[in-house]
Structure formats: structure tokens, C-alpha cells
Chains A and B, each alone.
Chain A
Amino acid sequence: MTAAQRGAMPLAEVIGVLHTARRDEIVVTTMGCAREWMRLGSHPLDLVYVPSSMGQATSVGLGLALAQPDRRVVVCNGDGSMLMNLGSLVTITSQRPKNLIVLLFDNGVYEVTGAQDTPGSAALRGGRAVDFAQMARTCGFESVFEFSDLEAWASQVHEVLNAEGPVFGCLHAQPVYENATPKSPGPAWERARALREALDRASSP
């Protein structure tokens, strides 16, 4: 079953819902999510993880969550990236961070390189895509959600963001086929330093 057949949601709108609901969480975005997130502006607690080491967004998010236990951390990851670091789901649940939310934007393709099917996609698996939500449950995520309907996502986004962590949300999204490659919003080292400084300021009395 393809993403479209499954009733997948337009990525920009899914990201838009999250952007509207976001308060003071740290938000880590990568690949297509980063591209759409950047279009909506910037925030001192954003980490647009572009350029990336593909797959590392969940690990970076875990580190942030453990270092900032009083602040929620949202990681917006792609399914291709998730497949590169499935072990991080196990590492996350071994640490049990109550403040970490992993949102997986599952479109079945490597969007930014031209939408080739991932090995987890239905297209390469005889019609049966990898079930990331079930995988997250098996790994021991405390709260697991799955959305294919934009209205349902919009009505439950606050529940997802406030659920007891670690939280995993699988969002079935439609691939974007044109101008899909995200551009870095500036020197990576400056943005990393700015995030650290912003968190330091935010936690200072």
C-alpha cells in the first residue's frame, strides 16, 4: 500500500499543525521536515539539523532531552532516516526520557534524493510497509500515536505533545517531489552554539 492509498496527509499541512501547537519545546527537524519547518519561520529553540549525519536526529534529540529534563524535545524525523538508526529507538526507551517526543513522518521514500522507495516501503516489501508504530510499541515507547488524517492530527496534537514520554507519533505523509532538498539556514556551528546559549539563558534564574 502506498502512502497515498493509505490516506496520507500533505506534509506542509502536517508540519503547520505542529508549528501552531508548538510552545517552548526544543524542535529538532531534519530532511523534508526541516525544509517545511524553515518555511514557517525560526525560533531560538529550533535545531534545523541540516546538514545532518543521516539518522542521527533521534540520537541528538535524546541527548537534548536528557540534558534538559524540564523541557520537552520534539524530533521530526523521516522514515528513511529512522531506518538508518533503528537502534536509537531502543536506546531511547532504555533511558525513558519523559520529555522526548519522536514524530516520524512516514512517506515510504527518500524524498530529498528524488523519492526512491525505502526498503521499509510497501513498494519494496510486497505491499506491506514496515509498521513503525508497532515497532515503537515493541521497543517500549510509553505513548504511541498514529495519524493518517489531518483533522485527527490537528485535534490531538496537544495530546501528543503532552503525553508521558517517551512518545512516538507516526504521521503518514505524502512525498514532495519537487524542490525537495532542504537548504541549511546558516553555518551549522553557529546554530549549535546559539541553541546551547539559548538553553543556557532559558534555564538561568
Chain B
Amino acid sequence: MFEGAQIATLLEELEVTHVVTIPDSTLGPWLSEITETQVQVIQVCREGEAWGVAAGLYMGGASPVVMIQCTGLFESGDALRNLLHDYRLPLFAIVGYRSYLSQDTLPGDTCLTFTEPILDAWKLEYRLIAAPEQFAEIAGLYRSCRDEGRSGVALIAEGKA
């Protein structure tokens, strides 16, 4: 839905300093273009770790974004509880919503069953980005979360319709 150059430019415009990530087939191709910017890419070994790294970056004065697939969101539970709720760190994430755009051709992916309920369960404000025309909404959500000190998730629909 989006090209790496678009995302890289967006992150620079938002003055994001670091992207903490594990790639998937949608997010991964963006990395080469992001690494060509001033934004530093940190690849972690599992997604729960991404929140810890982002938390340290934020407390150290940086402006990180976590970029993971929804499966990694499922893996992240205790880190979310602790860092976003106990410590109230306003961390922002771009989360790939696996199979959202393939529901007709590839039904049965349980990511479609659990992703949004999990976001609700962890009390994470999110915006579903399911069409190219919604690109500007990512920046809008990021800015409102940053300005108000809230965490938030841009949920990027993945797959091919």
C-alpha cells in the first residue's frame, strides 16, 4: 500500500530518531529506504524487546517508533503492560495488520480475529490505515499522541486485496 520512500520521508518529517523493528513482508522492504535517512534502524530479536529498547530511547530523550507485525504485538504483552501502563511511556508504533487486505482470497488468518481485540485489551489507541488515501492519518495520529503524551498505534493493513 505504501512505498518505503513515503514512510522514510514521513518519519523524517515527524522527527523520529529511531525505528525499533522486526521486519515482515510489508514492513521489511521499507527498511532500506529508512536507513538512507537520519532515522536510525534498530533490529531486535523479538518484538517484546522492541518496547524495552524504545522505552530506554524515550527516557534518554530520543523519539523512537516501534515497527512490528501484529503477531509481534501478540508477543509483546508484558512489555506493553509494564512500559506503557506502569511507566506510562508514550511510545508510538506502526503495526502491520497481517492479511487484512486478503480476507476474501486468504480467509482464516486468526490475526484478523485477535489484532483489534488485543489492541483494545491493552488500551492502545489505534487508527486502522486500510487505504492509500489514509496516509496522512498516520502523521496526524503520531502528532496528537506526541503532543498529548499518549501512546498510539498506526495499524497498517497488509496483504493483497
Known contacts A63-B56, A91-B53, A196-B60: does B82 contact A56 (CB below 8 Å)? yes
Which of A13-21, A65-73, A149-157, A160-168 forms part of the interface with chain B?
A65-73
- Do A87 and B44 have beta carbons less than 8 Å apart? yes
Size of the A side of the interface (Cβ < 8 Å), in residues, is: 34
Report Cα–Cα, A195/B79, bound state, in Å.
Answer: 19
- Do A192 and B49 have beta carbons less than 8 Å apart? no
B-side contacts of A94, CB under 8 Å: 43
B45 at the interface (CB under 8 A from A): yes
Size of the B side of the interface (Cβ < 8 Å), in residues, is: 34
Q: Which of B58-115 contact A (CB under 8 A)?
A: 58-62, 64, 78-79, 81-83, 86-89
Which B-chain residue is minimally distant from A200 (CB atoms)? B61
Which B-chain residue is minimally distant from A62 (CB atoms)? B53
- Do B61 and A95 have beta carbons less than 8 Å apart? no
Q: Which of B22-61 contact A (CB under 8 A)?
A: 40, 42-46, 48-61
Q: With both chains docked as a complex, state the minimum distance between the C-beta of B51 and any C-beta of chain A, in angstroms.
A: 8
Q: Can you name 18 extra interface pairs (CB under 8 A) apart from A56-B48, A64-B56? A: A53-B48, A53-B82, A54-B78, A62-B52, A63-B58, A66-B18, A67-B58, A67-B60, A87-B44, A87-B45, A90-B45, A91-B43, A91-B53, A94-B43, A95-B42, A188-B87, A189-B86, A189-B89
Q: Which 5 A-B pairs have the closest CB atoms?
A: A63-B56, A67-B60, A59-B52, A87-B45, A53-B82
